[in-house]
Chains A and B, each alone.
Chain A
Amino acid sequence: DGGITQSPKYLFRKEGQNVTLSCEQNLNHDAMYWYRQDPGQGLRLIYYSQIVNDFQKGDIAEGYSVSREKKESFPLTVTSAQKNPTAFYLCASSQGKGNQPQHFGDGTRLSIL
């Protein structure tokens, strides 16, 4: 079945540590996205990529980094510069043309030790 796979489901970060969240899709979608979800707030865009080897900052990119070396993969690194990283992180993908719906993975919950 086609879909988006995020791993791990739960992740714990120590102070000063960088951690990387994985996102893989087999939907053959051009565009991929990372969102952060906090209680009582809408999803906020961290980074997005329209095509391989290209990505743009979203609304809350500070303290995060990404890469897009393969069409299927869009990993997110939460760096030590992100002072409030505890949240639910969601990866999504969509077809690159027109205003198409985004399809989501099941998320990674990141907590601070």
Chain B
Amino acid sequence: EDQVTQSPEALRLQEGESSSLNCSYTVSGLRGLFWYRQDPGKGPEFLFTLYSAGEEKEKERLKATLTKKESFLHITAPKPEDSATYLCAVGFSGGYNKLIFGAGTRLAVHP
């Protein structure tokens, strides 16, 4: 069964304390892995797309990496404004543009 699992469910960090979020997936033919940020009461905001193992993307304090089984979202020296829920989604062969979403990781960064 195609599925996406994110861990941890929730993460609390002190400002400046770097960490990583995990997204593991089992799909038949990965066509792309997507990271989103979602603030309370808002829609998800697109961050990155990764298409093949070994690929990396960076944006400010965020860096996303991809292997054949999982993706990591590394957060370096986070600030309170990085607090949000981070969602991972995968596209798969035969699914057209349909995505399977993980349940997300709620990140809280405290001063």
Best-buried of A48, A90, A104 by chain B (most CB within 10 Å): A104
- Also in contact, A90 and B43, with CB within 8 A (given A96-B97, A101-B49): yes
- Also in contact, A101 and B34, with CB within 8 A (given A42-B102, A42-B103): yes
Interface residue total, chain A, C-beta cutoff 8 A: 28
Q: Are A43 and B97 in contact (CB under 8 A)?
A: no
Q: Kindly state the separation between the CA atoms of A105 and B91 in the bound complex, as whole angstroms.
A: 20
Q: Kindly state the separation between the CA atoms of A4 and B91 in the bound complex, as whole angstroms.
A: 21
Q: Is A25 an interface residue (CB 8 A)?
A: no
Tell which of A35, A40, A50 touches B103, judged by Cβ atoms closer than 8 Å. Answer: A40
Chain B interface (Cβ < 8 Å from any Cβ of A):
4, 9, 31-32, 34, 36, 41-46, 49, 51, 87, 89, 91, 96-104
Chain A interface (Cβ < 8 Å from any Cβ of B):
4, 6, 31, 33, 35, 40-45, 48, 50, 58, 90, 92, 94, 96, 99-107, 109
